[in-house]
Chain A
Amino acid sequence: MNKLILSIRNLKKYFDNNVVLDGISLDVNKGDVISIIGSSGSGKSTFLRCINRLEDSNDGEIYYYDDKKSYRIDNSAYYQKKKIKSDTRKRIKTLKIKKASKEEIFKVKKEGLNQLKSLKNKNDIVDINYVRSKVTMVFQNFNLFNNMDVLENCIIAQRKVLHRSYEEAKEIALTQLKRVGLQDRVNYRVNEISGGQKQRVAIARALCMNPEVLLFDEPTSALDPEMVGEVLDVIKELSSEGMTMIIVTHEMKFAHEVSTKVVFLDQGKVLEEGDPEQVFNNPKNSRTKEFLQRYIGSNK
C-alpha cells in the first residue's frame, strides 16, 4: 500500500527576485490525503501549480512514478546557467575595477565555461502532457470550458490526450459524473448549473483522466457555505475510496477530518508537517500555533 507516486525534492520558485517557494520537499504515497495550510501568499497555490507544471520551477526536482516507469522533471539547468553567467560577469567586473591582469580575467572566464559544460539538461521528460494528465487539478474558480456542456467537458480531454474512443470516453464520463452525483445534469450548459455543481463537474472532469494524484487548489473558496458542504462531501467520499489527493484549503475542520498528513507552509517553507492530530492539537512551531489559533478562533 505504501507505494510512492510523487516525490518532490527541494523545489524552488522565484518570481524575479521574489522567493515564493524556498526548498520544499514532499513525498506522496498512494492513498495519502495531504492538506496544505498556511496564510495567503505563502506559496500554497504556486506549489500545486508547480506539481501540475503550470509554472516552471526554478530549482529542485519532481519525480512522478507511474505503474511502469518514473518521470523526472528538473528545470534547474536553465536557471543554473543563467546564474553562472551572471556570476562570472560580476566577477570579471570586480576584477576589472581592481585592474587585474588579462590572464586572471581569462582564468575566470574559463572557469565559468567549464561550469557551463558540466551542466547537462537533466529534464528527461518525454511527454509532459501525459504527466500532466496524471496529476490533474481542480481550480478555485472551476474553470469549466464555457463552450461545451457538462458531458463534453468531461469527454474532450480523454479523447484528445488519452485517445479514447467517443463511446469509451462517454461511459467513463457518465460513471464519474454519477460518482459526484450529477447524472441528471449531464446535458446542461456550464452557465446553467450552480457553483457547487460546477466544482463537482470539475472534480469529475479531473477524475476522468484516471489521475494518480488529484490536486485541489482551494476548491471551496469561491462557494457560499451551503455549497461548500456538497463539494467537501464529494472529496470525503473520494478519500474513503482511497484516492490520492493534495488539498490546499482554508477549511481547517475539514482538513483535520479528511487528511492523513498536514503541511503548514509559511513564506515558501515547510514549517511543520505531520499527522493532523499532532499539527492541529500540539503544534511545535510558534508560527503554526499563531496561525491555527486565529483560524480556529474565527471558526468557532
Chain B
Amino acid sequence: MSSWDKIVKLLEDYYQTFLNGVISTLLLAIVGTGIGLLIGIIVALGRNIKIKETDRFIIKILKRVTKVLASIYVNFFRGTPMMVQAMIIFFGSSLFGINWTNMGSWWIFNGYMYCGLFVITINTGAYMSEIIRSGLNGIDKGQEEASRSLGMSYWKTMFLVIMPQALRNTLPTILNEYIVNVKDSSVLNVIGLTELYASVSIATNKNYFKVEGYIIIAIIYLVLTLLATLLVNIIQRKLDGKKIFINPFKHTKEVISYE
C-alpha cells in the first residue's frame, strides 16, 4: 500500500474527524484572538494609566495597584509556555470547585473545549495587550491634546480618536496573532482537547498510518495559515493605499445642496 493510498483511505474513513478538528482549531483561534483582543485593550488601558501628581491619595494607590496587577498578568502569561498554563488551569481549577470533565458535551463542545478556550483567550490577551499598548504609544501626543482641548473627555478621546488609530496601525500584528493561534492551539491537546492535531491520533490508532495522518494535517495547517497571511497582505496593502478610506460620494450631495 503506497503512501498516497494511505492518505486517500484516511481521508475517506476519517474525514469527519478531521473536519471536526479543523472546526475546533478555527474556533479556538478565532475566539481566542477576538476575546483576547478585548482583554488586551482593557489591560493595555490599565497599564497605560497615568498617575497625576495632583490625584488624591486613594486614587493614586488604586491606579498603582491596577498597573501592577496588569503588569503581573502580562508578564506571567507571556513568560510561561501555554502548555504549562493549560495544565495548571485544567488541573488547578478543581481547587476552586470547577471540574472541567463534568460539563455536558455537544458536538465539539465539552469541558476540554471550554478549558481550552479559556486558556487560549487569556494567553492571547497578554500578547494582545502589549500589541495594543505599542499601538497606543505610537500615536502622536498631539492627537490627544487636540481632542482634550476641544473639550472631549479622556474616555471619549480614547475611544473616538486614539484607539481607532492604534487599532488600524496594529491590525497586521493582530491578524498575525491569529495565525500564531491557529498553530499554537495544537498544544492544547495535552488537556485532552481534540483539535486538529489530536484528531490524527484518533484517526490512526487502529491502522498506524501515522506519517500520512500528520502530512494531512500539516497541509491543512498550511492552508489555514496561508489564507490568513493572504488576508493580512490584502488588508495591509489597502491600509497603505492612499484612497482606501474615501467614499467620494459620501458628502457630495449635501455640499452641492449647501452651495
In whole angstroms, what is the CA distance A151 to B152 when docked? 17
Contact in complex: B143, A183 (CB < 8 Å): no
Looking across the interface, which residue of chain A has its beta carbon closest to that of B52? Answer: A56
Contact in complex: B165, A147 (CB < 8 Å): yes
Known: A129-B152, A129-B153, A161-B151. A174 touches B254 (CB 8 A): yes
Contact in complex: B251, A146 (CB < 8 Å): no
In whole angstroms, what is the CA distance A147 to B168 when docked? 9
Looking across the interface, which residue of chain A has its beta carbon closest to that of B142? Answer: A143
Q: Tell me the chain A residues, 215-251 only, with Cβ under 8 Å from chain B.
A: none
Known: A143-B142, A145-B161, A183-B259. A56 touches B54 (CB 8 A): yes
Q: How many residues of A contact B (CB 8 A)?
A: 40
In whole angstroms, what is the CA distance A147 to B142 when docked? 14
Known: A143-B145, A147-B168. A161 touches B255 (CB 8 A): no
Known: A147-B165, A160-B156. A132 touches B255 (CB 8 A): no
Contact in complex: B160, A160 (CB < 8 Å): yes
Task: Say whether B96 faces chain A, with CB atoms less than 8 Å apart.
Answer: no
A129: contacting residue among B151, B160, B245, B255, CB under 8 A: B151
In whole angstroms, what is the CA distance A161 to B143 when docked? 17
Q: Tell me the chain B residues, 136-156 only, with Cβ under 8 Å from chain A.
A: 140, 142-143, 145-153, 156
Q: Tell me the chain B residues, 23-51 only, with Cβ under 8 Å from chain A.
A: none
In whole angstroms, what is the CA distance A149 to B250 when docked? 11
Q: Which residues of A contact B246 (CB under 8 A)?
A: 149, 187-189, 192
Contact in complex: B150, A174 (CB < 8 Å): no
Contact in complex: A161, B251 (CB < 8 Å): no
Task: Indicate with 1 or 0, residue by residue over B231-259, a CB within 8 angstroms of chain A CB atoms.
Answer: 00000000000110111101110110011
Q: How far is the CB of B53 from chain A (nearest CB, A)?
A: 8
Task: Say whether A133 faces chain B, with CB atoms less than 8 Å apart.
Answer: yes
Contact in complex: B145, A156 (CB < 8 Å): no
In whole angstroms, what is the CA distance A145 to B143 when docked? 6
Q: Which residues of B contact A130 (CB under 8 A)?
A: 151
Contact in complex: A160, B152 (CB < 8 Å): yes
Q: Which residues of B contact A132 (CB under 8 A)?
A: 148-151
Contact in complex: B258, A174 (CB < 8 Å): yes
Q: Which residues of B contact A188 (CB under 8 A)?
A: 246
Contact in complex: B152, A187 (CB < 8 Å): no
Task: Say whether B164 faces chain A, with CB atoms less than 8 Å apart.
Answer: yes
Task: Say whether A106 faces chain B, with CB atoms less than 8 Å apart.
Answer: no
Contact in complex: B150, A133 (CB < 8 Å): yes
Looking across the interface, which residue of chain A has its beta carbon closest to that of B144? Answer: A143
Looking across the interface, which residue of chain B has its beta carbon closest to that of A141? Answer: B142
Q: Which residues of B contact A137 (CB under 8 A)?
A: 146, 149
A183: contacting residue among B142, B156, B255, CB under 8 A: B255
A145: contacting residue among B146, B151, B153, B247, CB under 8 A: B146
Contact in complex: B164, A147 (CB < 8 Å): yes
Task: Say whether A92 faces chain B, with CB atoms less than 8 Å apart.
Answer: no
Contact in complex: A52, B149 (CB < 8 Å): yes
Task: Say whether A203 faces chain B, with CB atoms less than 8 Å apart.
Answer: no
A187: contacting residue among B164, B248, B259, CB under 8 A: B248
Contact in complex: B151, A186 (CB < 8 Å): no
Q: Tell me the chain B residues, 153-182 only, with Cβ under 8 Å from chain A.
A: 153, 156, 160-161, 164-165, 168
Contact in complex: B146, A139 (CB < 8 Å): yes
Q: Which residues of A contact B254 (CB under 8 A)?
A: 170, 174
Contacts A141-B142, A184-B255 known; 13 new A-B pairs at CB < 8 A: A78-B53, A132-B151, A136-B150, A137-B149, A139-B145, A145-B143, A151-B251, A157-B151, A174-B254, A188-B246, A202-B146, A205-B150, A209-B150
What are 8 sample pairs from A and B whose C-beta atoms fall under 8 A apart? A130-B151, A136-B149, A139-B149, A141-B140, A142-B142, A146-B143, A156-B161, A174-B255
